[in-house]
Amino acid sequence: MQNQPPYTGLTGSVVAPANTAQPFGPSAPGTVSRPGAGPVGSNPNGQLPSFKPRGSIIETVILVIVSIIAVVFIGLFIWKFIEWDSVKTDVDGQIDEAVAIAVSENTTKMENEFLEREKYPYKTFAGPADYGSLSFEYPKTWNIYIAKDASNGGDYEAYLNPGEVQTVSNTTINALRVTIKDSPFDAVAKTYDGLIKGGKVSVATRNVGSAVASVYTGELPSKIQGIVTIFKVRDKTVMLQTDAMLFSDEYYKLLDTVNFVE
């Protein structure tokens, strides 16, 4: 095939023939050039495609799951807190109501007990602890006067009488004389032997508290018509005496309430 002369256009420019072979340089290793095609791995814009690493996708999924779990737990916490606060408020209200009811009931009970005590016609006598803690009930209309409290030893003496206690003497009349002698029982009992022999008094025995007591009735010393009961408490001797038979009913009721510590 003969070489054709270059074609000169209207402008005088030389145009190469279409089938003229184009010079080319060596291809890059591992690439194959194809006529009319760009380099392998290229896109029409001439930019290389970008691929997101697999690890980043997994991390994103985990982050989303953790976030969802966190939101769920926060929601549960808020729900449980509201529920607990509601229950606690209800329980506190029930406790306050129960306390108020208990206080009201206790107040009512105390008031009733006070009223009952006020209605009860007796008070309690309490003797010195060192002398056996003698106690008994006596009419609340009686007043009491302690002449000797035995704080320094010796005898204990107390006098009880309706209204005012009469002047203390061997001849005055009081509803009750309480004497705790710092003497043995036998020595005190002997002082009444002469009255028994003279027929001025009669003697009987009865239980007073946990003791067996001797009860003398009749004309007592100083010509007092009354009753005296004597019994042993520890190494002491208790004497309970009424100076008039007028008080005999209350006197015997009193003996039934006697108590002491042996």
Q: What is the pLDDT along the chain (262 residues), one digit of tens a residue?
A: 445 555 444 444 444 454 444 444 444 444 444 554 444 444 555 555 555 566 688 888 888 899 899 899 898 889 888 888 888 787 777 888 889 898 988 888 888 887 777 788 999 999 999 999 999 999 999 999 999 999 999 999 999 999 899 989 988 999 999 999 999 999 999 999 999 999 999 999 999 999 999 999 999 998 999 999 999 999 999 999 999 999 999 999 999 999 999 8
Query: What is the total residue count of the chain?
Result: 262
How far apart (Å, rounded) are the C-alpha atoms in residues 261 and 19?
145
How far apart (Å, rounded) are the C-alpha atoms in residues 208 and 189?
16
CB atoms within 10 A of CB 128: 14
In this prediction the pTM is 0.59
Task: Locate the DSSP E strands across the chain.
Answer: 7-8, 14-15, 122-126, 135-139, 142-148, 156-162, 176-181, 201-208, 211-220, 224-233, 236-242
Map tokens 């760009």 to a residue.
38
